[in-house]
Copies of this chain bind each other. A is one copy, B any other.
């Protein structure tokens, strides 16, 4: 038997990590519930045709496909498909019908479409589940990772955008991530900029290039725009706009001038202004800023676009989202607008680890260890175990008589704060020796004293 391993890009989460992850999930869930989102879970596997074509060609490549069970070659053989000369792509439909979900948004759209008659719209759902991508693993990028999504579908009110912004702020603040930036943009502004630059309908190309501004810089973006067939003239108009420096108010006023007379662009600005004003009624969100170059590859966004970064940590975005006017249209259900955000649990974990904000989370899983002194006293130890658990104290018993030193070492390794010893003397005097591991202090206590002390 060779040494076992786990697949590349996946991880085991032992007790210490799990406690931290559960803390993050519980914090996010609590905020989602406070904002009246209802839980949903969808299957890990989706029909392959539900997923393909939704994430672009590159995305399709990254979907984990599941081999049909049983004799998966049956269909191929029956239909005489000559495998030797075919490509993987051609035979795929014959040997795989299912795949692991790639995100939570497409399964959500599938769910809404299938259950449209039973759902009360606007539908506010949250969903916290793993997703899988066959991406090249690297820092902050895993092949299995958790997304925590909240979406409101069936309303085009900008109050929804404002609520999601508040959720982002509340979640990150509750997690004690102090410094973060919520970047906001609007697809309509990007469309307006494209139109005003004489590159009508080219916003996708423009956005793909703009998205790389951080990575490839000014000149890189210009080159990429040019390669994508955007004229030099358009590029000259575009670049100053997406690079405009200033605070949100200055950017809005600059854009109002630049986009003058462009209907869609101006409506994008209006949406931004209305969202900001609603946010200001709901609370103070100084972390919110307009970022004209924010595009997030556009994908299916039609209005607001969000992206959140933790300041001072070299890791990608920890949350993102936006409005999609026709996501369920992919499945034939048209005219339903939605808006959502997604938190990346694993990236948030990495950020919190780097910022050292997990310190306050208790690592105590067991409060008391009861030792077994010898076989004769075993029954007394078991009896105490029952008493302590009955009053709700997390207690465990060292399962067999062994050297006390070994039992103490176990408590030590597991960071158990209290150890009880019940030996011959204790039994005779009806007392319990309690050792506080931190100080080494040891006391003999009556049962009532022991229960009182440990209940504190």
Once the chains bind, are A389 and B35 in contact (CB under 8 Å)?
yes
A117 interface residue (CB < 8 Å to B): no
Nearest neighbor of A41 in chain B, beta-carbon distance: B13
- Once A66-B66, A88-B71 are accepted as A-B contacts, the answer to whether A44 and B399 lie under 8 Å apart by CB is no
Once the chains bind, are A282 and B332 in contact (CB under 8 Å)?
no
Once the chains bind, are B87 and A7 in contact (CB under 8 Å)?
no
Known pairs A6-B43, A6-B114; list 17 more (Cβ under 8 Å): A1-B331, A4-B110, A10-B45, A13-B40, A14-B115, A36-B365, A43-B144, A45-B132, A67-B92, A70-B88, A73-B88, A73-B91, A157-B400, A159-B399, A162-B382, A278-B382, A283-B386
Residues of B within 8 A of A317 (CB): none
A222 interface residue (CB < 8 Å to B): no
Contact of A332 (CB < 8 Å), options: B3, B332, B396: B3
A385 interface residue (CB < 8 Å to B): yes
A437 interface residue (CB < 8 Å to B): no
Once the chains bind, are A61 and B69 in contact (CB under 8 Å)?
yes
Nearest neighbor of A142 in chain B, beta-carbon distance: B43
Once the chains bind, are B36 and A396 in contact (CB under 8 Å)?
yes
- Once A35-B389, A67-B96, A394-B36 are accepted as A-B contacts, the answer to whether A400 and B61 lie under 8 Å apart by CB is no
Binds B, one of A120-128, A176-184, A352-360: A120-128
Once the chains bind, are B39 and A15 in contact (CB under 8 Å)?
yes
Once the chains bind, are A41 and B18 in contact (CB under 8 Å)?
yes
Once the chains bind, are B144 and A47 in contact (CB under 8 Å)?
no
Residues of B within 8 A of A1 (CB): 330-332
- Once A12-B42, A40-B18, A43-B6 are accepted as A-B contacts, the answer to whether A385 and B66 lie under 8 Å apart by CB is no
Where chain A touches its partner, the secondary structure class is mixed
Nearest neighbor of A48 in chain B, beta-carbon distance: B7
Once the chains bind, are B385 and A45 in contact (CB under 8 Å)?
no
Once the chains bind, are A386 and B281 in contact (CB under 8 Å)?
yes
A216 interface residue (CB < 8 Å to B): no
Residues of B within 8 A of A115 (CB): 12, 14
Once the chains bind, are A383 and B73 in contact (CB under 8 Å)?
no
A261 interface residue (CB < 8 Å to B): no
26 interchain pairs (CB within 8 A)?
A2-B49, A4-B110, A4-B331, A10-B43, A11-B43, A12-B40, A12-B115, A13-B39, A15-B40, A18-B38, A18-B39, A18-B40, A43-B144, A44-B130, A44-B144, A61-B69, A65-B66, A67-B67, A70-B134, A71-B88, A72-B88, A73-B87, A156-B400, A159-B378, A159-B400, A282-B385
Report Cα–Cα, A77/B330, bound state, in Å: 36
Report Cα–Cα, A163/B395, bound state, in Å: 11
Residues of B within 8 A of A162 (CB): 382
Report Cα–Cα, A13/B40, bound state, in Å: 6
Nearest neighbor of A121 in chain B, beta-carbon distance: B410
Once the chains bind, are A34 and B394 in contact (CB under 8 Å)?
yes
A95 interface residue (CB < 8 Å to B): yes
B-contacting residues, A14-31, CB 8 Å: 14-15, 18-19, 21-22
Residues of B within 8 A of A18 (CB): 38-41
- Once A12-B43, A40-B12, A113-B4 are accepted as A-B contacts, the answer to whether A34 and B67 lie under 8 Å apart by CB is no
Once the chains bind, are A397 and B13 in contact (CB under 8 Å)?
no
A425 interface residue (CB < 8 Å to B): no
Once the chains bind, are A47 and B383 in contact (CB under 8 Å)?
no
Nearest neighbor of A278 in chain B, beta-carbon distance: B382
Residues of B within 8 A of A157 (CB): 399-400
Nearest neighbor of A5 in chain B, beta-carbon distance: B47
B-contacting residues, A142-186, CB 8 Å: 143-144, 152, 155-157, 159-160, 162-163
